[in-house]
Amino acid sequence: MRAVTISGPGPSGKLSISSLNHPIAGQSDVVITVAAAGVNRADLLQRAGYYSPPAGAPDWPGLEISGTVKRVGPGVSRWRAGDRVVALLEGGGYAEEVAIRETQVLPVPDGVDLVDAAGLPEAACTVWNNLVDVGRLRAGEWVLVHGGSGGIGTFAIQVAKALGAHVATTAGGPERAARCAELGADLVIDHREQDFVNEVQRATDGRGADVVLDMLGGGALGDNVRALARGGRLVVIGMQRGRRGELDLGELLARRGTVTGTLLRSRPPDEKARIAADVEQHVWPMVADGRVRPVVHARIPFTEAQSAHELLESGEPFGKVLLTP
């Protein structure tokens, strides 16, 4: 089979098409013919040499795919050849076929195009786990979603709104801000022109955000804490502005706030299985009835994977970038 592999750490030119052996289905595995793979910032970090795959995972990138079941292992009872599915992976999604344990495979939600569905599993699992399990977001609360125009951000806006929360988000420029508002954001802050702490405090009458979903990391740590309400929860899922930041413990204590950092890729299989089951139970109905939808910026062939990485690095996409075999 063909796969997009990495010849060594570095720029997008390190990506190339290789011929690899077809995957073999283990006892509880499902082999899927890939229709599309989502491109995520974790893939860019892996290519650059900063984010190695977990032990036992394929060493080529790709954390989510959509496709059709080709064959199953002897211990698999739920899935059969021909089923339309998506899967959450530890790696290896940039390929014509993948093998993954059955507990990380989900049906394509009703009404979703098979290719576009590749933009769902990573975002859905990340958003549900961090907004609800970690952030404990409830109806009527305010949530601040950083990077509302990204793959995670566009999904988080919609899920939070479907849960009955008030949604604030950041975006760069009036056009992207308008599109975030169309997705359901109650407050869109142009981070190029506005201070998000002041805007959140103003919108909440000085109360602050109950939950902040942050992918900026160290460079925004202090401001994120200042944006929290009493009892607020800051959930950090990325480090786009660095690994280190300064934390004023007085600010955190005064707000009785919490700061939690999470990763999805390195979770053990039983945790991923639980998250996937929760997503199927709670998020898939939102997708099926149209309250939440995948937002896809571009579909790009595997042969142009370098361009796909460069596009994501540019910051231009609104929503997901997908690779197709």
Q: What is the mean pLDDT of the chain?
A: 97
- 240 band by pLDDT with thresholds 50, 70 and 90: confident
Overall residue count recorded for the chain in this entry: 325
pLDDT digit string, tens, across residues 116-157: 999 999 999 999 999 999 999 999 999 999 999 999 999 999
Contacts of 305 (CB under 8 A, 6+ apart): 4, 12, 15, 17, 94, 323
- Determine the Cα–Cα distance for residues 121 and 255; give it in Å rounded to an integer: 34
What does the pLDDT average to over 1-27?
97
Helix segments in the chain, DSSP class H = 41-48, 121-128, 151-162, 174-182, 196-203, 221-226, 249-254, 269-278, 284-288, 305-314
C-alpha–C-alpha distance, residues 39 and 320, integer Å: 7
Instruction: Say whether pLDDT at 28 is over 90.
Output: yes
State the number of CA atoms in the 13 A half-sphere of 273 facing the CB: 8
Q: Tell me which residue has tokens 């999604």.
A: 93
The H or E element that residue 108 is part of is none
Q: How confident is the model at residue 209 (pLDDT cuts 50, 70, 90)?
A: very high
Residue 241 has pLDDT above 90, yes or no: no
Contact status, residue 227 vs residue 201, Cβ threshold 8 Å: yes
Percent of the chain at pLDDT > 70 equals 100
* pLDDT attached to residue 242: 84
pLDDT at residue 265, rounded to an integer: 93
- Work out the pLDDT band at 159, boundaries 50, 70, 90: very high
- Residues 43-76 have pLDDT tens digits of 999 999 999 999 999 999 999 999 999 999 999 9
